[in-house]
Amino acid sequence: MEKQFFVLIGRSGSGKGTQSELLKNALESKGVERVVNVTTGAGFRDFITKDTYVAKLAREVNDTGGLQPEFLAVWGWSNIFINILQGGETIILDGAPRKPFEVHVLHSAINFFGYHKPIIIYLETTESVSREHIAKRGRADDKIESDVNNRMDWFETDVLPTLDVYFNDPRYTVLRINGNQTIDEVHNEIMQKLSI
């Protein structure tokens, strides 16, 4: 299989991390070698534990459920690409881009690395289902209601316009997935729509 670039987008709590890992496992079981799962959220949560000036500022934004500035968002995934890619990998990117501006920067990376027709997997969940998932996963940054409210708000103000960019750009294939289903049902729908 030719190397591919997948982007998983959805609300906080939509299951992006779970589904990206399941997709990675499914691709590897089909013989796809060197599948790299780039999870921006986990890397960023690790970054803000550091004792640097920038990490402290980013932690303050994170602790209030805010959206990180564009330069840090781009640095997060681009730094991972720079440090781990060797050529020929299939990439699954989870958690970026979050703003329309990032789409264009990410596309420059996609072109640079030689990927064609990236696939956007939109996990479409209702806010209530996303909130249920957030409550169950028990992460430290999920415990304050106002922070969760902020994340739901910036999905509407920033991420949905980002999706509009993808829906209207013929360079991408966009798959709408019903994220309100069980984990297995969501995974099966992804596999079916990808014809894997």
Q: Taking a C-beta distance cutoff of 8 angstroms, is the pair 2, 87 a contact?
A: no
Whole-number percent of the chain with pLDDT over 70: 98
Q: What is the DSSP letter of 169?
A: -
Structure confidence by residue, pLDDT tens digits, 91-107: 999 988 988 989 999 99
Backbone φ and ψ of 64, nearest 5°: -110, 10
The burial of 179, by beta-carbon neighbours within 10 Å (0-12 exposed, 13-18 middle, 19 or more buried), is given as buried
Q: Which CATH number fits domain 5-194: 3.30.420.10, 3.40.225.10, 3.20.20.210, 3.40.50.300?
A: 3.40.50.300
Structure confidence by residue, pLDDT tens digits, 18-66: 999 999 999 999 999 999 999 877 778 888 999 999 999 999 888 877 7
Residues 35 and 13: their CA atoms lie apart, in Å, by 24
* Beta-bridge partners for 37: 92
